[in-house]
Amino acid sequence: MTNITIKTGFALACMGLMLASCSDNDDQTEMPEVASLSLNLSGLGNLGDDFLYEGWVIVDGAPVSTGTFSVNDSGEPSATEFAMDAETLASATAFVLSIEPNPDPSPDPADTKLFVGDFNGSTANLSTGTVAPSFDAIAGKFIVAAPTGTGAEEEKYSGIWFLDNSTGSMMPGLELPELEAGWKYEGWVVIDGVPVTTGTFTDVNASDEQAPFSGTNPGPNYPGEDFLVNAPSSLTFPTDIRGKVAVISIEPYPDNDPAPFALKPLAGMISEDGMGIQEIGDNVQASFPSGSVSR
């Protein structure tokens, strides 16, 4: 009888230990495996305090944020390594880099997508295919004139208009692809080191959206500006733009930065004589940012 009691007690004790062990295992939550996404990007610009860059991986057709970062005036990102759930990252088919408001009211990517790239193994090489389909065929022409002014001699070389009137009638001076949502073109003249806008636009065959420095007379129905009034504090208008630099940039929209964005598909010198139809050259390779990501 005694032996039976001992055995029964021993069995009950073992069962209790087994149950406790099972309970302990149930309380332990298995931690997900973590992997790292590495960004290797160059040529990005400072977005200021109101915007941030945000990375996204595409998993089963849906975007998953990889995290946000900023870029300083020297082009250095605030972060290049981002920890992610390993299974999610391994399942990603593509990477997208967008520009987001800060703070950001939406959990989804903004329209302003700068980079996209499909993963090939562990790496995705990035392109600006989310800005426009292609920049393989671009060109620009312009004239130096001040049609919105009074005709005074000191205004003669104070304006730039992106048009071609070599045939005797006005035609568009710019050949540029249609931009995707979230982007606009903007013209500039760099005057004594200061980039001064000629206005934003999306249509090369119509007036741009601003005329902050032009006179009161009507201007051509093409992008352009006369630098006659309301000069920035460091400049004096009317001014002579001969020998200055003309630029067409691509700007995120909305845009809080008064300076040109990193994407500058066209750039060139304005001739010293300011005469005739002038050309503005392809600047894509020299100005567009580039990069890749790896997992």
Q: Where exactly are the structural domains of the chain?
A: 34-130, 139-290
Average pLDDT score over residue span 36-60: 96
Asked if residue 7 has pLDDT above 50, the reply is no
Question: Does residue 4 register a pLDDT over 70?
Answer: no
pLDDT tens sequence across 188-230:
999 999 999 999 999 999 999 999 999 999 999 999 999 999 9
Q: Which residues touch 196 (CB under 8 Å, ≥6 apart)?
A: 188, 189, 190, 213, 227, 232, 235
Q: What's the pLDDT at 252?
A: 96
Does the structure show a pLDDT above 90 at 14? no
Read off the tokens for 243. Answer: 């020998």
Please state, in angstroms and rounded to a whole number, the distance separating the CA atoms of residues 134 and 39. Answer: 24
- Residue 22, pLDDT > 50, answer no
Residue-wise pLDDT for 238-289, tens only, equals 999 999 999 999 999 999 889 999 999 999 999 999 999 999 999 999 999 9
pLDDT computed for residue 8 by the predictor? 38
| pLDDT, position 29 | 62
pLDDT classification of 15: cutoffs 50, 70, 90: very low
pLDDT at residue 74 above 50? yes
Residue 213: predicted pLDDT: 98
- Tell me what the pLDDT averaged over the chain comes to: 91
pLDDT at 273: 96
Geometric angle at alpha carbon 85, from 80 and 91, rounded to 5°: 95
For range 147-172, the mean pLDDT: 97
2-12: average pLDDT? 37
Give me the pLDDT at residue 189, please.
98
Handedness of CA 213, 219, 224, 226 (dihedral sign): negative
Q: Which two tokens stand for residue 45?
A: 């610009």
**Do residues 181 and 111 lie in contact, with contact meaning Cβ atoms separated by under 8 Å?**
yes
What DSSP string describes 112-129?
A: -EEEEEEEETTEEE-B-T
Q: What is the pLDDT of residue 285?
A: 94
* CA pair distance 42, 143, nearest whole angstrom: 34
Average pLDDT over residues 101-122: 96
**Token digits for 155?**
């205004």
